Amino acid sequence: MFIKSLSITSGAKVIREIDFHKGLNLIVDESENQITGNSVGKTTVLKLVDFCLGANPKHIYVDHETRKQEYKLVKDFLIDNKILITLVLTSDLDKGTEDIIIERNFLARKEIIRRINSVELTEDEFEAKLSNLIFPEHLASKPTFRQIISHNIRYKDESINNTLKTLDTYTSDAEYETLYLFLFGCEFTKGNSKQEILTKIRQEDTYKTRLEKNQTKTAYETALSLINNDIEALNKRKSSFNLNENLESDLDKLNKVKYSINKTSSTISKLNIRKDLIKEAEAELQSSKSDIDLRQLEIIYEQVTSKITSIQKSFTDLVSFHNTMIGEKVKFITKELPSLEKAIQENNNVLKRLLEEEKKLTTVISKSDSFEELEKIIAELTEKYRKKGEYESIIEQLNEVDNNLKDFNKQLSEIDKELFSDSFEQVVKTQLNKFNIHFASISNELYGEQYAVKYDIITNRKGQRLYKFSAFNANMSSGKKQGEISCFDLSYTLFADEENIPCLHFLLNDKKELMDDKQLVKIADFVNKNNIQFVASILKDKLPVEINKEDYFVVKLSQDDKLFRIE
């Protein structure tokens, strides 16, 4: 998939119309006496392409370094003038293939425009539709569309400075594992199941953290043992008083009722916490369901299938499969709800009965005469029984969590047996070897050095095994790091084509002035000869003579002619 054009319009007024071609596409700042080239809009062109592919609109007018400072002039211009960004993608720039037309604006609510091929979509539908059009065989929820294309669009610090770690700093190694197994064509059918189990483990860990907010399980067990000793000692002291038989019996009943009340209340509280966690997880999954109007898309899909005969699945099947998969996840997560709700109801009934009994016993005892010392002992016993009920309930909940974690980790272990089996590891090695043939060849051609991607099987701090991928070579300067990144992206495009893996054939790059001139010229020559579209923003006075040519320029900006042409 290539970029055909990017346009910026306000109603019928065309502010910018940028046409792209195969090979090298340069976005240059040709201001005179330029120092940094900031603020003319070079990087914004890349951001607008990313915006049309699902990125947050704030990236256009918020400083990506501070993530707080807004460029009010730009924001107001985009909103007040109802600016529409249109990105046209095509599978072949040389032939008249059907285009993908993406339109987005910066307005909200009823005025928002979020269209693909003239069809209005919700935020969730938008990314799902892009994924179905560009990666039609990818039906799983992970990796996401945005994760898959992250290495194609490099203007943020993470992607400019890292070859493989192109996502935000909060991305886990498990997500990178899923991403790169997919990118390298290592088919693993239980990837979704692993993500579900990891989600349940995180959920149980969160629940356990809440339960152990004040003390650990062993601390509660130790404290419970001491409380039982204290209760036994207090009961011995109480039995030494000369009290009438009925009062002794009533006090004993009251203590037991209070103990039961506190234990039952604590149990209800913990059950409600578990129920709320499951409901939160269910709501999150339900929000990812697709309710695309299949009838409206039927004609479009028929046109696609008439052009691309290799598509075996109907669009209805794809959406149905996606929604069915989400439904199965919901069933998996919520299967405990009925038993939880039943347990909560039963415990509420028990609590109501106990409270009534407590009220009766308190009324009877309050009418009896007692000694001041006995009242103190009774107060201590009441408090001890309250804590006893609370601690026993917490310990029971922690035991349940530990058993659940044991079960989930067992399921994870079964999946890992396949994922880390000799046969699957051989698949990973084979696919990486195929990729590294391209990676080493291209890097040798451009730099006279050989780069490669390797994997290590690591164990994270939670004891979970993962494939961790990394690029390696000798120590490099920042310029050569830029080269390593470009070599990886170029190599992946060739590898994906060779393996029949769908991919974007355009690479967006910012700050290419960091790269050595000779290597930039070699990259230009390489992409011009291969089926790759290399889009780069750069200061014109930093361009090597060999590529400082009008044929390579797709847009020229300056302090006198900025991207949005804001007066």
Q: For the chain, report the end-to-end CA distance as a whole number of angstroms.
A: 35
Give the CATH number of domain 1-171+502-567; options: 3.30.1360.200, 1.10.238.10, 3.90.1150.10, 3.40.50.300. Answer: 3.40.50.300
Is pLDDT of 474 > 50? Answer: no
Give CA–CA dist 537/520, Å, rounded.
Answer: 12
- pLDDT for the residue 148: 95
- Rounded distance between C-alpha atoms, residue 20 and residue 2, angstroms: 9
Asked whether the CA dihedral 55, 58, 59, 64 is positive or negative, the reply is negative
Per the document, the length of the chain is 567
What band does 318 get if pLDDT is binned at 50, 70 and 90? low
Q: Higher confidence at residue 266 or residue 39?
A: 266
The strand pairing partners of 469, in sequence order, are 455
Q: Which two tokens stand for residue 306?
A: 């008439």
**Where does the pLDDT of residue 335 fall: very low under 50, low under 70, confident under 90, or very high at 90 and above?**
confident
Query: In this structure, what DSSP letter does residue 97 have?
Result: P
Beta-bridge partners for 85: 8, 104
- List pLDDT tens digits, range 376-406: 888 888 999 999 998 899 999 999 989 988 8
Rounded Cα gap, residues 234 and 223, in angstroms: 16
Q: Which residues of 331-350 are buried (b: 16+ CB within 10 A; e: fewer)?
A: ebbbeeeeeeeebbeebeeb
Sign of the Cα pseudo-torsion (566, 65, 523, 29, in order): positive
Element (H, E) at 6: strand 2-10
The pair phi, psi for residue 467, each rounded to 5°, is: -85, 125
Contact call for residues 24 and 32 (beta carbons, < 8 A): no
Per-residue pLDDT tens over the stretch 258-298: 888 888 888 888 888 888 888 887 787 777 665 555 556 56
Tell me the C-alpha distance between 262 and 499, whole Å.
63
Cα(518)–Cα(288) distance, integer angstroms: 47
Question: Tell me, what's the pLDDT at 481?
Answer: 72
* Domain spans, the chain: 1-171+502-567, 203-418, 420-499
**Each residue of 429-472: pLDDT tens digit?**
999 999 999 999 998 888 888 899 999 999 888 788 899 999 98
DSSP 399-423: HHHHHHHHHHHHHHHHHHHHHTSHH
Cα gap 256→294, rounded to integer Å? 62
The label of the residue with tokens 């990729």 reads 435
